[in-house]
Structure 1
Amino acid sequence: MTASPDLGTSQLVSPEFGIARPASPDFGIAQPASPDLLRSVFRQHAAGVAVITARGERPVGFTATSLNSVAAEPPLISFGIGTTSSSWPVVSRAGHIGVHILGEHQRELAATFARSGADRFAPPTRWRTGPEEVPVLDGVLAWLVCRVVARVPAGDHRIVVAEAVTGDPAGAGRPLLYHQGRFNALRD
């Protein structure tokens, strides 16, 4: 953005869009881009919590806050996964994955699937083999089984794009959120 003269009001003009807005007297302390800056900024962003599962020799799964709806026609979703994740080798070859939207009553389940080295599918986790032999978690707000259509390199992660083939949106409860490094519930 560049400064723009005005009739007495300081403004900033975006050269990309040509939009003027009043200049803020306090931008805070700007920091150069870094992994720590990105983490700090996204701690301010509340995100829904999902668990992604896939079938390998043993089922795998991980907690994701990067789940997005991409398109309605065809019905596409996306999520990010680190290439150092213990689930990545299976997800990198999987033809289908499970997407599970967690409820506020499932904080411990979210923590289990986020914990490195945990036996994520051992009790008390309740699950069954679903369509396309994908592990489907019980008691979630909603779930989908999706066919993987792309894996896009993105730094030390991959963005997985998948097309929904079946699912169930009828779970009961309120969504689980991730904010400030913690699992949270919505407040009324």
Structure 2
Amino acid sequence: MTATSDLGTVQLASPDLLRSVFRRHAAGVAVITARGAAGPVGFTATSLTSVSAEPPLISFGIGTGASSWPAIAEAEHVGVHILGEHQQALATTFARSGADRFGPATAWHEGPEGVPVLDDVPAWLIARVVSRVPAGDHRIVLAEVVLGDPSGAGRPLLYHQGRFTALRD
């Protein structure tokens, strides 16, 4: 339901309203990885947030219907990879349902704690999961950073208006 007022066109809360508003919010793009029982898993996330500096905590959201959720639900550690503007294809692969995310097109190696670490990203972290908080049809995962590497090259990949994009000068 919509109504026109001095505030513009106002809509009642709905999934469509939330999606429409957040399409206007530019977000950084990350890939979250974990070691699963049947092999590595991962997904593209735009919900990555720095939560605390002391202790160093991060958070991200994942839908409970996502193919990676069963592994993330059990994982002790996760990998967090900040993608560069040159990695739109990688972001798309990890966002697409049914994709061979760790196939030949994905350069990666087993990192600390057995977590899959993507190669050639601008930065990555390994974090120990400390909590999974129910939030509607998602879970908010809180994790404490254990180690990482911020030394990769490249500018960040962004997600805006339903597509991957880059910063403009």
Amino acid in the other structure paired with 1:27 = L
TM-score normalized by the length of structure 2: 0.96
Identity fraction in percent = 77
Return the match for 1:106 from 87, 91, 107.
Answer: 87
Name the structure 2 match of 1:7: none
Return the match for 1:49 from 19, 29, 45.
Answer: 29
Name the structure 2 match of 1:69: 50
* Distance (Å, rounded) in 2 between the aligned partners of 1:26 and 1:181: 28
Return the match for 1:127 from 88, 91, 108.
Answer: 108
Q: How does 1:36-185 map to 2 (within 5 A)?
A: 36-56=16-36, 57-185=38-166
* Distance (Å, rounded) in 2 between the aligned partners of 1:124 and 1:84: 25
* Distance (Å, rounded) in 1 between the aligned partners of 2:72 and 2:62: 9
- SS of the equivalent of 2:16 reads helix
Amino acid in the other structure paired with 1:53 = T
Instruction: Give how far 1:36 is off.
Output: 0.3
Q: Please, what is the CA RMSD of the aligned residues?
A: 0.8
User: Which string of whole-angstrom CA distances, capped at 9 and with x for unpartnered residues, describes residues 13-68 of structure 1?
Assistant: xxxxxxxxxxxx84111000000000000000000000000001210000000000
Amino acid in the other structure paired with 1:37 = L
TM-score normalized by the length of structure 1: 0.86
* Distance (Å, rounded) in 1 between the aligned partners of 2:7 and 2:161: 21
User: Which string of whole-angstrom CA distances, capped at 9 and with x for unpartnered residues, describes residues 161-182 of structure 1?
Assistant: 0000010000101000000000
Amino acid in the other structure paired with 2:122 = L
User: Which string of whole-angstrom CA distances, capped at 9 and with x for unpartnered residues, describes residues 113-138 of structure 1?
Assistant: 00000010001100000000000000
Name the structure 1 match of 2:14: 34
* Distance (Å, rounded) in 2 between the aligned partners of 1:74 and 1:46: 27
- SS of the equivalent of 2:74 reads coil
- SS of the equivalent of 1:55 reads strand
* Distance (Å, rounded) in 2 between the aligned partners of 1:30 and 1:177: 28
- Which 4+ stretches in 1 moved above 2 angstroms? none
State the aligned residue count: 164
Q: Which has the higher contact order (CA 8 A, sep 6+)?
A: 2
Amino acid in the other structure paired with 2:8 = G
Greater Rg, structure 1 or structure 2?
1
